[in-house]
Each structure stands twice: as C-alpha cells, then as structure tokens.
Structure 1
Amino acid sequence: MSKVVLITGASSGIGKSIASYLHTKNYKVYGTSRNPQNVSVPFSMVALDVTCPESIQKAVEEVVTKEGKLDVLINNAGKGITGPIEDTPTDEMRANFETNFFGAIEVMKAVLPTMRTQKSGLIINTTSIAGYMGLPFRGIYSASKGALELVTEALSMEVKQFGIRVVNAAPGDFATNIAAGRYHTPVFEESAYKEKYAENLALMDEHVDSGKDPIIMAKVIEQIIEAKNPKIHYKIGAFMEKFSIVLKRALPDKVYEKLLMNHYKL
C-alpha cells in the first residue's frame, strides 16, 4: 500500500514542491492550507490552520478516516519574519512562534495517537539552517526554527519506544516565494538601524532569488521517508550554508561573529 503523507503548508513554496514530487512517486499525499479551495494542485488538500487546534484535529481525523492510517507527517507550514529586535513589534514575534513553533507542536500532538496505535510513523519537521545560528535582522526566525530543532531532538527520544521516528530537515535558501509571505518590520525613518536593515532586506531577497531548486529538498525528503534508520538532523542547501554550521562549532565565538558581521556588512 502507498504511504499516506500529510504535509502542512503545501499551497506554495517548498511545501508545494515536496507534495507535488511525492505525488508523482505514488505516495498518497494530503496537503494542507487554510483555504484549500483556492489552491490548484494535483494532490488532495484539506483545510488546516496550524494556529487553531480544532482545525488541526479535524484535518488529521479526515485523513485517518479516509485512509485508515497516517504514515508520515511533514511539518512544513511556517512564516518568515525580519527586523531589528528592538524595532520588531513583540506581538509579531509571538505570532511567528505561534506558527513556526507552537503550530508545529500542535500538529505533532494531533498525529501521535494514531502513530502510536499503528506502532509506526515518521515526523519530519522543516526547520532551517538559520535555526543553527542567530542571524542579524532575522533573530526571531532563527529562534523559532532553532527551538523546533531542540523539540525534535527531545520528541525523538520520547516516542522511539512506540516505533515512531522524528527528524528535522533544515533547508538553506531555495528559490520560492517565501520572501513575499514574510512579516517585514518597516524600515522606520527614526530607527537607529535604518541603513543597515534596509541593506540587509535587499540582501535577504537576493539570497532567496538565487536559491537552489526546491526539487532538491523534495528528493531529500523522499530519501528520509524511505530510510530504514534516518538521522535526526538533515541540512539541505548550498555548501557554504551547511559549512557555516561546521564553522560555528569549530571557531571561537568572536571569530564566528566577525565572519557573520562581515557577510552582512555590519
């Protein structure tokens, strides 16, 4: 029987690419979106808002009722956020964590009872290479994805006894429309960070525009699904993006900070 895959945030970007690719590989794919009726894709869609536990529960129940099982959850729904920490509204910080961190946890909590009953299941959390380091003007995004990385590690140990595997896939920059969906703290005229933040906003968009093809991410996700004993951490991106994590572990803090500051022209 085909594996049943539920992937959140599948209406655009990396999520849509992953879902479309897995669909061509004969997985039974259910993507989610807050408004699935507005999405045209080759795979099935269900309504799900990761900030609403009732919506999550209803979507999971719909898939399990139709298919009788749920083999894979890909926790992909997420939002970007940029801005100097001092200038970014705290409410926007909380909203970002509600989607990127607490939303992902709520979806995991909703699928775990079914996976425990099956004595099998795989959860893949889409985090980010940015979650391995505090990036200037992206600190809240880095924090939300870094927090999900640590929860992935903890949950992996908690549920292994039930035959459930939990891993994370951390992408670097991919050519998607993620920049359009970010919350951008305005470049305030009176801000002490005005010039440097404006320069870095342009740099961030440039990185996304020149990013890799999302199909690379999709193929790695398939490899994770088919692996008999998957790793806990996967980094997917350009060599220098992945190497930056190695450098952080190897270099003194101040040296690594200087490298980042030079990169971001600070």
Structure 2
Amino acid sequence: MKKVILITGGSSGIGKAIGEFLLDKDYIVYGTSRNTAAISNSKINLIDLDVRNMTSIEACIEKVLLLEGRIDVLINNAGVGITGPLEEIPLEEIKNNFETNVFGPIATIKAVLPQMRLQKSGLIINITSIAGYMGLPFRSVYSSSKGALELITESLRMETKSFGIHITNVAPGDFATDIASRRFHAPVKQGSAYETVYQNQLNMMNEHVSGGSNPIEMAVAIHKIIETKNPKIHYKVGAFMQKFSIVLKRILPDKMYEKILMNHYKL
C-alpha cells in the first residue's frame, strides 16, 4: 500500500522539494498552500490550508481522508521567518509568527492524531531549524518559535508512543529558498539605536540564504526518515559548521559560546 503524505506549505521552497521528491518515490503526496488558485505549476496535489485557522485545517484533513482514507505521514513544514531587534518588532507580528510556527503545527497535529490512532500507525515530522537550538541576534522570535516546536515534539513523542505513532524533528540550516523574500523584516529605522548593526545583520542573513544548500538535501533526509522503522527524536540537516554549532553550545560555557556568536555576527 502506498503511503499517503501531507505536507503543509508544500507549494514552494523546502516543502515543494520534499513533495516532488517523494512523488518520484511513488508515494501519494498532498501539499498545502494558503492560495492554491495562484499556483499553476505544482507537480503535487495542492489543498488550501491556512495553519492559523482551525476550520481550514480540519477541512484539509477531511479532504485527504475522503480521497485516500488515511494519512500515514504529516510533515509540518509551513512556517515564516521574522527578523528585527526585539524592542522594535511589533507585538502583532510576534504573535503572527507564533501562530504560524508553533500554534499552527500544534493544531494540525491535533487534527490528524485521531486518524493515526485509529490506524494504529503514523509519522509526524516537524520541520524546525538549527536556529531553534540557540538564541540568535535579531532572530529572537524565530529562534524561540522553532525551539518551542522542538520541545513540543519531545513531549508529544512520549504521549503518543503507545499508539504506534512516531514523531520527530528535522532542523535545517541555511538552504537556497525564497524564505528571505517572505520573511517579516522589522523596518530599519533611521536614527534607531540598532540602525547600523541591524542593517548589517540583514545583509548577512540574506547572503547566508542565497549561498545555502540545495533543498533536495532536505528531501533526501525526509525520505530516509519515512523509511526508518524507529526514527530518532532530532535530526539536523545542513552545513557541517551549522550542525557543529549545536555541539559547541552543549559543551562550552554560556558566555564563551555567546562571545563566539557575537564575533561571528560582528557584534
């Protein structure tokens, strides 16, 4: 029996790469987008979904179940970036980021778990970020939202293990996608105490994304996880130094690690 895969945020970037790769591997793949009518070149089936809206989530899950009768793998990929000095990021934008990056995946998981319990099987893969393992300057909101999803996964694994459901995190580093163009940037305010340093950080972030790895690396990693009988709790995918930065955080004194980050970001 072919496995049925549902990928949130499957119309572009990493989600699109994963969906097309899995389709080529002979899975039944559904992706989502907030506006499928605007997308005409998708190789995978797309369903309208706004992860900030529970009614939209439930309608999407119901449609897949109506078409296929089951959902074997949920990949929580939908997410948005956000940058800025915490002092200057509008509170409503912080709330919107958590609605998308944290509450959205939670709501989607809640909607799919009853079916997976009924099947006595299922796999949920939460796409987080290496940035979720550390507080990065001018990315406090993004780092904390992805870090929250990492910990939610750890808890949820233990709660659902007896149902035959596996849950795991995959934390990517920098990949060459259009995330920079869709990220919310707190505006660089002329005369702000953060003006120069924040502008320099924006330039550096965009360079990292532009020079990032090929998203197909994420697709290959996800495929391996799907084919793994008992997935690990955490996976990291990206450049060696990005993954090694997590190791350094575990073994170095806090202030030493902070100094390394500040030197790296030229602060």
Query: What TM bracket, shorter-length normalisation?
Result: over 0.9
How far 1:190 sits from its partner (Å)?
2.4
Query: Could you report, residue by residue, the CA deviation over 1:123-145 in whole angstroms, capped at 9, with x for unpaired residues?
Result: 00000000000000001000000
Aligned pairs (5 A) from 1:67-216: 67-216=68-217
* 8 A Cα contact 1:87 1:191, kept in partner: no
| Mapped partners of 2:225, 2:161: distance in 1 | 16
| Mapped partners of 2:169, 2:202: distance in 1 | 27
| Mapped partners of 1:106, 1:230: distance in 2 | 22
Q: Which residue in the other structure is 1:38 paired with? A: 38
TM-score (norm 1): 0.99
How far 1:217 sits from its partner (Å)?
0.3
Q: Which residue in the other structure is 1:6 paired with? A: 6
| Mapped partners of 1:14, 1:202: distance in 2 | 22
TM-score (norm 2): 0.99
Query: Could you report, residue by residue, the CA deviation over 1:162-209 in whole angstroms, capped at 9, with x for unpaired residues?
Result: 000000100000000000000000000121111000000000000000
| Mapped partners of 2:14, 2:115: distance in 1 | 26
AA matched with 1:30: Y
> How many residue pairs get matched?
266
How far 1:66 sits from its partner (Å)?
0.6
Aligned pairs (5 A) from 1:46-85: 46-85=47-86
Partner secondary structure for residue 86 of structure 1? helix
Question: Post-superposition, which runs of at least 4 consecutive aligned residues in structure 1 deviate over 6 A?
Answer: none
Partner secondary structure for residue 220 of structure 1? helix
What runs of 5+ residues in structure 1 fail to find an aligned partner?
A: none
What runs of 5+ residues in structure 2 fail to find an aligned partner?
A: none
| Mapped partners of 1:100, 1:5: distance in 2 | 20
| Mapped partners of 1:253, 1:217: distance in 2 | 30
AA matched with 2:160: V
| Mapped partners of 1:5, 1:143: distance in 2 | 28
Partner secondary structure for residue 57 of structure 1? helix
Moved more, 202-211 or 37-46: 37-46
How far 1:18 sits from its partner (Å)?
0.5
